[in-house]
Amino acid sequence: MRIRGAGRIARAAAEALMEHAKLVEAESPEEFRQTMLEAARHLLATRPTAVSLKNGLLHSLKGLKIQLPGDGASADVEALRTGMIEAADRFIAFSNGAVAALAEHGSKRIKDGFTMMTICNSSAAVGVITKAHRDGKKIKVYACETRPKRQGLITVRELAAAGIDVTLIVDSAARTYMKQTDLVFVGADTVTAQGNVVNKIGTSQVALCAQEARVPFFVCAESYKFSMDTLEGDLVEIEEREPEEIADPSDFPGVKFGNPVFDITPAKYINAIITESGLIPPQGAYDVVKTLKEELDDTQL
Ligand code: RI2
């Protein structure tokens, strides 16, 4: 939890693999490969929901491909080390570039005088909003607090520091303020092949309010937040965290606590998913996943 945000988590994992690759001592290419795979699996086990973590690792592990049969089986440890470092570095640069490209596309939907709503702290969504502000548009933002960890506080600090007119609201005020909202921008931890979006708990309620009020609802998600596993039928695991995030259980004898930290917004509530390649309908998620599969399918974790 010290590293938050699906994109940041992916970049931090790639960076960790890169650092590991620099330090690992291995007698043979096979030993190096196994050590890197073990490290990647260790990193993957840290968070279950955001697929950006897995995809960031897979992008980085492409650096081991030079060892695959028929593709330079003679690669030595130093060649693999360089390959890993370069692949992880490429992913980090690609990820940062994707967030910037996405901001460029999404901000075009924001008109001068518009009011936006967001939830949690998404660097992709914040990027879209701040780009519109930097372009000289006069905008306002309602930011949901996002219980229980209150990451909305990070968002309001970031937006206020950028000079944006921002109002912090409690999550249950989303419907009230939706009446004064023109567009909603949220981030994503995982987008399924069917176009449904897994994001911080409360997102689907905001989507429902937006639908009812006819306010366009946009999801900001780089391509590495799309899940290949969901194409094969897998469900996204929703992380359930400890009750202490909500209240002290010892103060409530006999009470059970439920603390799922992500929820699923159905595709039918989403106007468009903003990716680095442009705005796509949620139904376009299938094509993004197919492209990702072509790119990453021969890399295993
Ligand atoms: P960016 C966060 O969850 C939020 O759900 C946010 O919308 C999403 O990641 C995407 O964040 P967590 O991973 O990549 O911090 O847009 O639990 O920053």
Q: Tell me: the pLDDT tens digits for 193-229?
A: 999 999 999 999 999 999 999 999 999 999 999 999 9
84 closest CA partner among 51, 46, 35:
35
CA 200 – ligand 1 centroid, Å:
7
Q: Which atom of ligand 1 is nearest to the CA of 239?
A: 17
Q: Which atom of ligand 1 is nearest to the CA of 119?
A: 7
Give the pair of three-digit tokens for residue 28: 């043979």
**Is 72 a residue whose pLDDT tops 60?**
no
Ligand 1 contact, 202 CB (< 6 A): no
Q: Is 112 annotated as catalytic? A: no
Please pick, among 76, 89, 112, 120, the residue that the annotation labels catalytic: 120
Q: Which atom of ligand 1 is nearest to the CA of 151?
A: 15
Helix ranges (H only) for 196-241 are 203-212
CA-CA distance, 57 to 288, in Å (whole number)? 18
CA-CA distance, 246 to 237, in Å (whole number)? 21
Give the up-direction half-sphere exposure of residue 166: CA atoms within 13 A in the CB hemisphere: 24
Ligand 1 contact, 189 CB (< 6 A): yes
Please pick, among 76, 165, 189, 297, the residue that the annotation labels catalytic: 189
Q: Which atom of ligand 1 is nearest to the CA of 221?
A: 16
Give 150-187 pLDDT, tens digit per residue: 999 999 999 999 999 999 999 999 999 999 999 999 99
pLDDT tier at 91 (50, 70, 90 boundaries)? very high
Domains recognised in the chain with CATH numbers: 6-99 (1.20.120.420), 105-296 (3.40.50.10470)
Pick the residue whose CA is nearest to atom 7 on ligand 1.
187
Three-state SS across 24-53? Answer: CCCCCHHHHHHHHHHHHHHHHCCCCCCHHH
Q: Is 120 annotated as catalytic? A: yes
Ligand 1 contact, 124 CB (< 6 A): yes
Ligand 1 contact, 190 CB (< 6 A): no
Pick the residue whose CA is nearest to atom 16 on ligand 1.
122
> What angle separates helix 77-107 from helix 6-23, to the nearest 10 degrees?
160
CA-CA distance, 65 to 152, in Å (whole number)? 40
CA-CA distance, 159 to 281, in Å (whole number)? 27
Ligand 1 contact, 14 CB (< 6 A): no
Ligand 1 contact, 6 CB (< 6 A): yes
CA-CA distance, 231 to 243, in Å (whole number)? 33
More confident residue, 296 or 67: 296
Task: Please count the residues of the chain.
Answer: 301
Percent of the chain whose pLDDT exceeds 90? 91
Prior bond of 148 cis (ω within 30°): yes
**Is 67 a residue whose pLDDT tops 60?**
no
**Is 73 a residue whose pLDDT tops 70?**
no
